[in-house]
Structure 1
Amino acid sequence: MSAALIDRRGPCPVAVRPGEDYLWCPCGCSTSQPFCGGSHKGAGLVPFRFHAERDEPLYFCGCKRIHTPPCCDGTHESL
C-alpha cells in the first residue's frame, strides 16, 4: 500500500477518557474507524498511539492525509 485509503472526508468525533490509550488507524482499512483494527499489517503503516490526558471530545482524522496525527487539522477540506 503506497497511500492510506480515505475513510471519510471529515473528522470522527470521539469522547476520550483520561488515562486511556487510543490507537488511531493511519491506513484507512480498519473496520473500527477511526481506530486501528489490525488491517494495516503488511501495508507499511503503523497505528498512532494517543494517550488522553483529560475527558473531552476530540475529532480524529478520517481522511488519513493529516499532517498532525491523530486529530483533524482540516486537510480534508483540500481533497
Structure 2
Amino acid sequence: MQKPVIADKAPKALTLEPGTYYWCACGKSKTQPFCDGSHRGTEFAPQSFTIDVKKEVWLCQCKHSKAKPFCDGSHRTL
C-alpha cells in the first residue's frame, strides 16, 4: 500500500463557493489541496466533496485526516 505525500503539516483555510470540488488524496498535486491529476499511475484517486453554501473550510494537506477532505488535527502527530 502506497503512502500519500505530506503536502504540508498544516491545513489550508479557504472560503469556498457552492460547488463540487476534488481534493488531492496523493499529496503530489501542484494545486494543493485540490487535484491536478498527479495521482495517475498510483493507487490514489481524488475525493470529491460538495459545498452547498459559501463557507470557510479547513482542508487537510497532510493526507492523514480521518475526516478527509477536512482537517481533524492529524498533522500534529506526524
The TM-score normalised by the length of structure 1 is: 0.94
Q: Which amino acid aligns with 1:68?
A: A
1:15 matched to 2:15: yes
Q: What CA distance in whole angstroms lies between the structure 2 residues aligned with 1:70 and 1:24?
A: 6
Secondary structure of 1:37's aligned partner = coil
What do the CA deviations read for 1:16-68 (whole angstroms, capped 9, x no partner)? 112x1110000000000000000001110110001001111101001011111
Q: CA RMSD in A?
A: 1.0
Runs of 4+ in structure 1 off by over 4 angstroms are: none
Q: What CA distance in whole angstroms lies between the structure 2 residues aligned with 1:4 and 1:43?
A: 10
Secondary structure of 2:49's aligned partner = strand
1:70 matched to 2:62: no
Gaps of 5+ in 1: none
Q: What CA distance in whole angstroms lies between the structure 1 residues aligned with 2:40 and 2:67?
A: 22
The TM-score normalised by the length of structure 2 is: 0.95
Gaps of 5+ in 2: none
Q: What CA distance in whole angstroms lies between the structure 2 residues aligned with 1:14 and 1:48?
A: 17
1:24 matched to 2:35: no
Superposition map of 1:33-72 within 5 A: 33-72=32-71
Number of aligned pairs? 78
Q: What CA distance in whole angstroms lies between the structure 2 residues aligned with 1:7 and 1:54?
A: 27
